[in-house]
Chain A
C-alpha cells in the first residue's frame, strides 16, 4: 500500500502544530496550539480527524440547528395556486395581487431564513471544538457547489449543509451517491426537469467535469476522461431523480429505463449505477486527491504543477482508492506526512475570506461583535456562504486577491480589532471591548512586557512565515509611538498593522 513519508515525530514543533491547526481547522489561540503540540503528532492528528466522539461538547449545544423552519417555502398551498389560476382566468386583479403579495412574503421570509442559516454556519465555524468537521463541510460546499441564488430554498440549503457535515470525513462514495438525491443540487442543476424523452444534461455534465473526474487538462492528462456521448447517456440514467417538497423522490414514470452506453459499457443504467462507474473510473480518486491537496496543502499557483506536487497527488489518490474512498484515513495520512509540513508548503495558501474572518476571531481572540458584519465582509471579499459563484465553486488561491480585496481584507481586520469603521462599508460601530493582553500574557516580567519581545512573539504567533527586518521594525514603531508601553491600546494598534501585512493573508 502506498504511503506518504511521515514527518519525524520530533519535528512536530510549535510552528508545525500551528500549521496543522490552521490548515485542518481555522486556527486558534496560543493555548490551543500548545494543547495540540502536547498531544504529539499522532495524537494531534487523531484528535482532529476523529471528531465524532466529541459530541457532548459538540457545537450543536452552542448554536441550535432546530430553529430553522422546513416549511418556510410551503406557505402557499395547492389551494392557493388553484385559486390563483382561477383568478387569472376570471381576470380577478384583486385576488391575483393578493396571491402575489403572499408569494413575495414567502420569498422574503426565505431570504431571511437563508441569512440566518449563513450566520449560524459562520458562528459554528468560529465556535466549534471540532474544527476539521467544519473545514471539510466548507470544502464539500465548494466542491459540490450549489447556490441559493438558483435553489431559492433555505431549508434545502441547510439540509445539504447537514449532509456535507454528516459525511465530512466519511466516505466520498457516500457523498457522490447522496448528491444525486439532494434536493438543492437536483434543483441547482435542473435535474428536476430531466425527464425520459426530454433529458436535461446539466447534472450529468457537472457531476463528471466538476464532482468526480475533473477537467480534461488536469495534471497533464492526455485526453478527456469522458466524451460528449457519455454525458448524453448519463443524463438519461439520471432521469427521474427529482424531489417533491423537501424530499427526494425517484419518479419511475420519468426515468428512462432503456439501454445506455456509458464509458463504453451497455446496460439499463440508473443514476446510482452511473455513480458507481464514476467511482470506479481511474480519474476519480486522483481528481479528489487533487482537490484535497489544493485545499489543504498548497494553492499550487504554477501551471502545470511541479513533478513533486504531481507525485504526491498521485500517491494521495492511490491512498484514497486503496482505502475505498475513506476520507478520514486519507486525511490522517496527509496530515502526518513530511510533505504536508515541508517549508515549501508553509505560507503557501492564501486564506479564503471565510478562513480570514473565522481564523482572525480564533487566532486573535477578538469578540465576534456582529456576526452579520462578518458574514457580509466575507461575501464582499468573494465568499458568501451558500452562494458560490458557479457550480465550479470558488477558484481560491490568487483569485481571492486583487487591489480591491486587499484593502477590504485589511479593513475587515481593523474593524474586527477596533469595532470602528471609517465609513463606506458600511459596518456598525461596535464598542465591545477587546482585550489583546492574553495573547502576550506569557511575556510578562514584573508586570511589564518588553516591546522588542512582543514584536517578535506576535509574528511567531500570527504569521506562517518570517517578516523581514524592515517591516518588523514598522510593527515595533507602533510601540515606540506609545512610549514603549505594551498595553491594550498599543497592542491593538500593532495588531492593526500586523494584520495589514501581506504575510497575514497567508497560512
Chain B
C-alpha cells in the first residue's frame, strides 16, 4: 500500500494550516545541527528516508520488521489456557474449573465445552474459547511455549510484572528489556523508530535511556488544540517548543524534571504529525469489540500506514481471577483470541503479515489447585505465544509436570528470557546477549 510521506498542504479539518511532515523535517534538521542534546525523535526523523520499505536478503521477509507485544495483566490462568489434559492431577486439583480432553463430550458447548486439540502427543489442548487462535495454529502461525517462568518465582503482580518487563530477576532500577534493545541497537538509516504503546502510559518494558516510547489512546487528540483559538497561537506554540529544544542542555543541569517534560513535549509534536498521517488509512477487516481489539486495530492501521516503528505494545487486563473464574476467564479468552485473529487477518490482507510478529505473555500463571471461591490464586509458570506468518508453529518445550510441584505450584520448564532471546535474534536480528546477557539460549520460535 502506498503512503503519502509528504502531505504538504494538509489541513487539520478546521481550515487551519497544520504543520506538515516536511516542515518538521526541515525544522528538525536545523535543530539537530544546533543542539547536541535534541530529543532522540528529532534525530530519528531527520535521518528517516522516504524510501519504500526494504526487503532483506531472506526471501519474502521484509526488513522493516515489527514486534507486537501483548500483555495479559493480572496473571492469566495458564492451566486453563493451554489445557494439560494428560495430567490426572489437573482434574484432581480443579474439580470445578478443569476442561475435559478434546472429544470427551463433543455435544457440550459454551464454557462447558471440551478443550480444543493442540498437541495430542503431549496431551495438551486449548481453552474452548480459543477457537480463532486454534485456527491460526492450524495454519502453522502459532508457537506455543508452555511453562514459561523464572527461578524463585515472585507472586506479587507488580514485582513479577517488573521481572517480565526488565527480564531481570532483581528488577529494581533496571530499564525495560525492549528499552535496552533500543539502547544497544542504535538507529540505522531508515529504520528503528520509537516503540508505540497504546494507552495512557508506556509500560516499563519500553523504558530505556536513549529512546523514550510514545504512548497514546487515540490519534485525534494527539495535537495541541490551542492553535484553534487563533492560528497565530499555533506559531507561538511551535516557536516556544523550538526554543525549548535549544535550551535543553541548560535545563538538564538545572532541573531534571523540567528537562524530561521539555523533551516529551518536543517528541509529542513530532510524533503527532507522523502518527496521525499513518492512521488516516483504514483496516482491511472488521474487528470485534473489546479493549485489545481496539488497540490491535489501531496498531494494524499504523503498520499498514507505513510507520517504521519496530515495537508496538498492547495490553489487556482483568486476568486476576481469584473468584468466579469460569465465566470471567472464558470471556477474556474469547476477547483475546478474536482480537488476535482479526489482527492477523488484517495484516494478511495488506501483506504486512510478512513483517509482523506478535508475542503474548502474562506476569504469572495461577496455582494448580482452585480455591474455595471457584477461582485461582497467584501461581508461577504459564504459557507464552509467538504468533505470525514467520513464527515456528507448534508446541515448543515441555509442559511442567504435576508430580514435582513446588508447594502447589508448577515449576517452570522454560525461562521466559529464552523466548525473548529467540524473538530478538530470530526476528529483530538483534544480539540478545547485549540486551540481557548471554546465559539465555535463544529458543527457535521464529
Contacts and interface: CB of A to CB of B under 8 A. Distances in A.
Contacts of B267: 403
A319 interface: no
Contact of A403 (B236, B268, B373): B268
Contacts of B240: 470-471, 474, 497, 500-501
B268 A198 contact: no
Given A350-B257, A418-B229, A496-B233, A424 B172 contact: no
A402 B213 contact: yes
A177 B262 CA distance: 43
A303 B158 contact: no
Contact of A190 (B213, B216, B243, B322): B322
Given A399-B201, A402-B215, A411-B224, A505 B261 contact: yes
Contacts of A506: 255, 257-258, 261
B230 interface: yes
B2 interface: no
Given A193-B373, A392-B158, A465-B255, A497 B268 contact: no
B200 A190 contact: no
B239 interface: yes
Contact of A198 (B173, B224, B230, B372): B372
Interface string A470-507: 11001001100100000000000100110011110110
B214 A402 contact: yes
A439 B173 CA distance: 44
B377 A410 contact: no
A381 B217 CA distance: 10
Contacts of A461: none
A401 B377 contact: no
Contacts of A403: 214-216, 222, 264, 267-268, 271-272
B264 to A, nearest CB: 5
B229 A493 contact: yes
A200 B371 contact: yes
Contacts of B220: 423-424
Contacts of B213: 402
A198 B215 CA distance: 42
A358 B339 CA distance: 38
Contact of A195 (B224, B232, B246, B372): B372
Interface string A344-356: 0001111000000
A422 B264 contact: no
Contacts of A382: 200-201
A334 to B, nearest CB: 20
Nearest to A405: B200
Given A205-B156, A398-B260, A500-B237, A410 B244 contact: no
Contacts of B173: 217, 303-304
B258 A193 contact: no
Interface string A309-352: 00000000000000000000000000000000000000111100
Given A496-B233, A497-B236, A299 B257 contact: yes
A215 interface: yes
Given A193-B322, A402-B202, A474-B236, A380 B217 contact: yes
A407 interface: yes
Contacts of B222: 403-404, 407
B14 interface: yes
B159 interface: yes
A411 B217 CA distance: 15
A128 B146 CA distance: 55
A146 B97 CA distance: 27
Given A195-B372, A422-B14, A468-B250, A500 B226 contact: yes
Contacts of A205: 155-156
Interface residues of A, number: 63
B218 interface: yes
A381 B215 CA distance: 12
Interface size on B, as a range, is 35 or more
A190 B240 CA distance: 51
A398 B268 CA distance: 15
A402 B261 contact: no
A414 interface: yes
A301 B226 contact: no
B261 to A, nearest CB: 4
A94 B322 CA distance: 32
B31 to A, nearest CB: 14
Given A390-B158, A404-B222, A193 B372 contact: yes
B20 interface: no
Nearest to B232: A481
A502 B233 contact: no
B157 interface: yes
A348 B254 CA distance: 11
A291 interface: no
B278 to A, nearest CB: 15
Interface core residue of B222, B261, B262, B267 (most chain A CB under 10 Å): B261
B323 interface: yes
Nearest to A470: B243
Contacts of B229: 414, 418, 420, 493, 496
Contacts of A215: 158-159
B403 to A, nearest CB: 23
B224 A193 contact: no
B414 to A, nearest CB: 24
A422 B127 CA distance: 45
Contacts of B246: 470
A422 B225 contact: yes
Given A392-B158, A500-B226, 8 more contacts: A205-B155, A404-B217, A406-B265, A411-B226, A415-B225, A474-B236, A477-B236, A496-B229
28 contacts: A193-B371, A200-B371, A200-B377, A209-B156, A215-B158, A217-B173, A301-B257, A302-B256, A347-B255, A392-B158, A398-B257, A402-B212, A404-B214, A404-B217, A405-B200, A407-B223, A407-B268, A418-B229, A420-B228, A468-B243, A468-B250, A470-B240, A474-B240, A477-B236, A497-B237, A501-B240, A506-B255, A506-B261
Q: Which 7 A-B pairs have the closest CB atoms?
A: A404-B216, A424-B220, A422-B225, A502-B261, A198-B372, A470-B243, A403-B268
